[in-house]
Amino acid sequence: MQFTVERGGPLLPFLLEHVKGSRNHVKSLLARGQVQVDGAAVRRHDHPLAPGQRVSVLAQGAEARRAPFPVLYEDGRILVIDKPSGLLSMASDREKVRTAYRMAGEYVRRTRPGGRVFIVHRLDRDTSGVLLFAKDEEAKRAYQEHWDALVRRRGYLAVVEGRPPREEDTIRTLLRENAAHKVYSVRSGGKEAVTHYRTRPGGRVFIVHRLDRDTSGVLLFAKDEEAKRAYQEHWDALVRRRGYLAVVEGRPPREEDTIRTLLRENAAHKVYSVRSGGKEAVTHYRTIQAGREYTLLEVDIDTGRKNQIRAHLSELGCPVAGDRDYGAAASPLGRLCLHAHELALTDPFTGEERTFRSGAPRGFRALVC
């Protein structure tokens, strides 16, 4: 089955409107990876749809037989997967369908009729990574009854706020869970918990340039202070091109043009053009494709002023789609339709010309079809 999206909105309501069956049936189609948007499998219920996109619902054929998550190892006794974040290991009172246990079981049954999986251990819903299932009851008992003796290491990677007081240490406390299901350390009456941590050496990055919060695309970081200084101190000389893709409301007065103004920021942090007392900003744009309501532009900037592209296109009468701050009437994709798609520069150490590109985000071209 294939459907064309006529108006934007979340994926699940669209499927409930077009696909026969109960809500749980539709959610199971998503969980099994049988739903595609423009040819790519989508499992998120709230995935945003744009007009012109094609939604396909696949039969349980070759595509559907693929595992809905990376399989790290599988034999006749066990299945080891890479569980994504946000997925329960097993069912809870609130969620019965979208669980790693159910999805793993469906995958095994598609590859071996009558097959089953059994819970051996768990990961929290928001923790991603290695999760092991048994494929028969004997294997389940063997692993669970001797788990502590069998497991040699359970290793995690964690990014934390701030910096621990020591590069490497062991935390040993008694833990207790309160009525709100939050776990905390106590002096007595808890269960012993031992955690070893080690800070990975050299794990730092340094800001070289910035993108606005709502702008997607290419962003470069330095991995040491020398590289940071080399790029930042000679940025304007090193950068050959900063290219963006923008979907704007309406259609610009010219197919291709250059906007050159002085920009100033007001007390509300909004940027606008002035006749004097501002910083020069130069924006070049070229029309790639025009639709009935929106136009896809390729945009280059000679200067990197705050909100430069957004301010210039708004003052042209064509605000970036989704940019409420600069006058956009609608947000058809639920995001700011501005994407940094190319950064071309010279390596300050080798002199080599480097170009980094990122493709158009999903939905951009659908808006101008």
**Amino acid at the residue 129:** G
Strand pairing category for 216-217 and 338-346? parallel
Of 212, 214, 300, 302, the active-site residue reads 212
252-255, Cβ contacts within 8 angstroms, sequence gap of 24 or more: 252/285, 252/287, 252/295, 252/297, 252/313, 252/316, 252/317, 252/318, 253/316, 253/317, 255/286, 255/287
Active site residue 136: no
- Give the position of tokens 């004097």: 276
Distance (Å, whole) CA 285 – CA 338: 13
Question: Of 86, 74, 87, 92, whose CA–CA distance to 132 is shortest?
Answer: 74
Q: Measured on CA atoms in the order 363, 364, 367, 369, is the torsion positive or negative? A: negative
Strand pairing category for 221-222 and 206-207? antiparallel
Assigned token pair, 107: 């995958």
**DSSP assignment string, 187-217:** SSSSEEEEEEEEPPTT---EE-----TT-EE
Distance (Å, whole) CA 303 – CA 231: 16
Q: For 187-202, b where at least 16 C-beta lie within 10 A, e where not — what string?
A: eeeeeeeeeeeeeeee
- The answer to whether residues 310 and 320 touch, using CB atoms and an 8 Å cutoff, is yes
- The answer to whether residues 97 and 148 touch, using CB atoms and an 8 Å cutoff, is no
- What helix, strand, coil percent values describe the chain, rounded to 5? 20, 35, 45
- The answer to whether residues 307 and 212 touch, using CB atoms and an 8 Å cutoff, is yes
What letter would DSSP give residue 367?
Answer: G
Q: Which residues are catalytic?
A: 212
